[in-house]
Structure formats: structure tokens, C-alpha cells
Amino acid sequence: MTRSGIGYDIHRFAEGRILVLGGVTFPGGRGLLGHSDADVLCHAIADALLGAAGERDIGHHFPNTDPAIGGISSLEILRRVRAILDAAGARIVNVDTSLVAEEPKIGPHLDAMRANLSSALGLDPRRVGIKATTNEGLGSLGRGEGIAALAVAAVEMAE
């Protein structure tokens, strides 16, 4: 059967951090605060995939209290999620995402982000969607205090 999952994540900007989205490093500016590289897009995808496969969430599998994963690339988290799904007999069908951010401009980096994500997940790039929108100046995201990401994923499993 085909099963779907949903993921959401949000990280706040912090000084002295490097911004990484979809495994792409954005030069200059501020980065996001987090135990890993704080790649909010990868984290939302991880939760969508884990949810679709009936697994517990990213915080369970990759606790932010674990020093072994401090500063880890979130593409590596996705590779490990893929292994968890493989062990569960879940085959990824597709992933789709939306980033919510006032800045930076995502468009010029979309292809590189999609290549990183599809490679980490072992998918054809056409099975990985990345969209971006601003929050129209509304609320904390609109004030540029952080970046949020939403993801959905579909997997095929025997049951």
C-alpha cells in the first residue's frame, strides 16, 4: 500500500551560524540555530518519511542531546532515515516540500538543493519537490526571525 507522512520544522536565525538549506551552504548573512547543521528542510523531510513509514520522529532517532551528532550534516540524517525505511521495508515514492522564509532567495539554489536531497534519498530528482514562499511579512517568520519548512512524503510498504 501507499502511505503518506507529514513533516514540519522551524529554526530561528542566530549570529555566528552558517545557513544550510537542502544541503546547500548560503554564503554570508545569518545561519539557523540547531544541534546539527540546522537544515530545516532536511528535518521536515526526515519527519515526513519517518511518519509515512510508521516510525517515531526525528527527535527520537536523532536526539539533540546526542553529542555524536553535534554539527552533523542533515543530508547524513536523511541517509540514515533512508536506511531506517529500508529496514522497515518502505520504498520512497516521492517527497514534496515548501520552505517559508523572507530570505534568502531560494530560486538560484533550487537545482543544487534538489540534487543533494535526491542523492541522499536515492531518488530521481523529479521525485523531490522544493517550493518556497515568504510569509508576507506576517508574524515571526515574516519578521525574518527564522525559517520554517513543510514536507509530505509517500512510501510504498507491504502493509
Q: How far is the CB of 156 from Mg ion (least distance, A)?
A: 26
User: Using CA atoms, how far apart are residues 128 and 17, in angstroms rounded to an integer?
Assistant: 27
Look at residues 121, 159, 154, 151 and name the one whose alpha carbon lies nearest to residue 3. 154
| Residue type, position 147, single letter | I
47 binds Mg ion (CB under 5 A): no
Q: In sequence order, what E strands does 15-90 have?
A: 19-21, 24-26, 31-32
Q: Which residue number, 9 or 55, has a Cβ lying nearer to Mg ion?
A: 9
Q: Which residue is nearest to Mg ion (CB)?
A: 43
Q: Residue 95 is placed in which grid cell?
A: 517527497
Q: How far is the CB of 9 from Mg ion (least distance, A)?
A: 4
In a 10 Å sphere around its CB, with 0-12 CB exposed, 13-18 middle and 19+ buried, how is residue 144 labelled?
middle
CA angle 108, 82, 149 (to 5 degrees): 40
Binding mask 1-40 for Mg ion (x = CB under 5 A): --------x-------------------------------
Query: Total number of residues binding Mg ion (CB under 5 A)?
Result: 2
43, 82, 109, 114: which one binds Mg ion (CB under 5 A): 43
Q: Which residue number, 26 or 157, has a Cβ lying nearer to Mg ion?
A: 26
The residues that touch Mg ion, with contacts defined as CB under 5 A, are: 9, 43
